[in-house]
Structure 1
């Protein structure tokens, strides 16, 4: 019988979790590992194969392409990512579909029962969510589980599960309050997901030396981009297709030709292919083409009319964004709507984007970690940038900007998951309302039968 005191709705559960632990982020595996043990999550594999992805940037796109590729090969999948943009349900996907409220609530209830089964264990919002998602995946035991690390790697709650293949995409400065600014130290934290004797994929050729040292200490076979695998442009292709070369589980050379541009970083696409091959999937070129041509990822270079939304919030991600925008010239102005948190390198992001931005709208975010629109505007002014407007929220900033755009202008919404999530929801709601109003108007203008 369920505890009558437990919430019965997802919103109530999330509110409970937010209030239950004194801090939002508390790195360490002792507490979460104990509850995972009580839940039976470490007794046997949660899936046929597990791929865990860590890194500063590129995790989300790599996981999205891994999921699309796996499903195109007929595999069942369980995917856990964070954070979400609009709905918490986005964090868990089972066979390509967002988990429903009942599945998430059942996971929360399982975690609650386990953490109280003995000496009570205090868990953070993220830890409960992670354990609940892992429990839901384990119940399905799909062919492959794809797990995205939330922060760091070594001490992240996701790391209670041993991966069959570990992926490190990139290492750059971010989350300085928790990981510091030393890239060698950050690299060691990211490399904490590696396991002895199990393959690891390096998705960047510029990873700190500490990442490889961890792999060598664990005798974990390393498959690095530019060495064990690579992606090449196909000079004779009129459709910007590319070629992947890599290795299978036995170390044999593989090659896939005429792969389409997925609209996401190609290094991450190449990394996903290599990781899937090491997980024992026999890559079929037709399935790979289908998967890469159809993959989507909300909040990553996502176009909504003349609005481009991207969650990039550090200089490394901003540089990639600037390059993509520069390759897509616009007839009109490019305006950035920027909202960021206090612990992010705002000046670095501004410097990276400035060459492709004509004007800025700054917005304030809610919460203790939020940076004000005024602070962002002051920094931009010091950089000599044109600030059009300051707004008290992302939505109010977007609404103001929408009324000042010319037809050929475009907008980049960036700086935070919170910024992109709020504007994306506003755009989707506005689009639905506009369609409904248009349909209603058309109905009113149409003569009724018999008139």
Structure 2
């Protein structure tokens, strides 16, 4: 590694990584496994226990609840997630705190040195980030490492590490260019994180048969929602029934975390199988305090959610229906070109009165005009179209009545851009961007 590389800032490293590989997504484990081997990441366990989480929706909330629950039980933790909303540092949390620049840079330097140690290996932005995070986690050797799959499962860089417990939250159509449109095939890809003889936690009652088939072929014990574990009730006071390898476990009078309760139950079951002795008081505290920006995050009359496929939009519609408002519901929506915009629009139409489509930047961008055309074709009321989420939010803000509410959705980029725009104007416009919790 050159002296120039050692002096790079985090921003410079990220710019360099974005330009280093010919394509942004290049599924496969051969290259990343070779560099992981050179880094020594495969020589010893990454942490006391490793839980890997895959799925189309619900990964982020499951990871957040796993982390919160582990912390309240006194465990040392590391959590790796993607993508981020505002800062790259969000992707790696150590003891519940975002990694600092120095930790991330140290990881990038370690990856760079290893990939050049012998025949050079080309890595994507995500692959370098994943290996850098694994380097930081291995140096900490926490009690529990929680790893979120970026895309798919079987060929995702995270899958270079063998988990002690594997979780599949949901399976739906998304990333069709890489995973296809066949749910059974997508299920097999997600199930690629399962390991022989190690527990597989299935966090949905409507997973394709292929997920369980892969588990059975591997001899991985299956703990499925609605079978080995379940939850009863909605909102405050719900109950969890779980299963250890030898006996049952019941937790009652649990608080509503403001996140999907199926995912909360899944997190509890995964921790049980990771041999964490759950205490009722600690579980209640964790579920009360857990926060996940960008998932049903309320900032005043604005609700921000990164949901970007029909399955996620159905969940959003249900949550909004359960929380009626006296005014209008306006959706500020921006989506990437490879997402099912028509499906998302259809899922939200029953709870949205008017729309503000916005454009996104980048190689997968979709313009506001295209979204507007799809909305108009469905008979939807389009109030305004804007070139960016920030401009859309700025146009909409002074036109809202006190009883109105806004749903910001369609992409991590949409939510992140609105949050960034608010942050940049917070001092001059006195915008309150405090996190009010997911409700």
TM-score normalised by length of structure 1: 0.94
Check if 1:418 corresponds to 2:410: no
| Residue 436 to residue 324, structure 1, CA distance change in 2 (3 Å) | closer
Distance 1:51 1:296 in 2: 20
Of 270, 278, 287, the match for 1:275: 270
Structure 1 counterpart of 2:46: 46
Secondary structure at the aligned position of 1:356 is classed as coil
SS at match of 1:366: coil
Q: Secondary structure of the residue that 1:390 maps to in structure 2?
A: coil
Q: Is the 8 A contact 2:39 2:114 kept in 1?
A: yes
Q: Distance in 1 between matches of 2:158 and 2:171?
A: 18
Q: CA deviation at 1:174?
A: 0.1
**1:201 and 2:197 are equivalent in the alignment:** no
Q: Could you say if the C-alpha distance between residues 257 and 113 of structure 1 is closer, same or farther in structure 2, counting changes exceeding 3 Å?
A: same
For residues 107 and 221 of structure 1, do their structure 2 counterparts lie closer, same or farther at Cα, with a shift above 3 Å needed?
A: same
Greater Rg over alpha carbons, structure = 1
- Cα shift at 1:435: 4.1
Aligned length: 432
Matched, 1:157 2:157: yes
**Native 8 Å contact 2:5 2:109 kept in 1:** no
Equivalences for residues 227-242 of structure 1 within 5 A: 227-233=227-233, 240-242=236-238
Specify the alignment match of 1:177 in structure 2.
177
Does the 8 Å contact 1:84/1:90 carry over to 2? yes
Partner residue in 1 for 2:435: none
Tell whether 2:139 aligns with 1:143. Answer: no
**RMSD, aligned CA:** 1.3
Among 259, 282, 288, which residue is 1:287 paired with? 282
Give the alignment of 1:302-451 within 5 angstroms: 302-435=297-430
SS in 1 for 2:283: helix
Contact 1:47 1:137 in 2 (8 A): yes
Counterpart secondary structure, 2:384: strand
Q: Offset at 1:2? A: 6.2
Q: TM-score, normalised by structure 2?
A: 0.97
User: 1:85-234 alignment to 2 at 5 Å?
Assistant: 85-233=85-233
- Which SS does the other structure have where 1:261 is aligned? coil
Shift of 1:5: 4.2
Name structure 2 gaps, 5 residues minimum.
433-439
Distance, in Å, in 1 between the alignment partners of 2:180 and 2:74 is 42
Deviation per CA, 1:279-318, whole angstroms, max 9, x where unpaired?
A: 0000000000000000000100001111100000000000
How far apart in 1 are the matches of 2:115 and 2:236?
52
SS at match of 1:388: coil
State how far apart, in whole Å, the 2-side matches of 1:80 and 1:5 are.
24
The 2-side partners of 1:5 and 1:99 are apart by 20
Secondary structure of 1:47's partner?
Answer: coil
User: Could you tell me whether the CA contact under 8 Å between 2:169 and 2:204 is conserved in 1?
Assistant: yes
Matched, 1:246 2:247: no
Gaps of 5+ in 1: 438-451
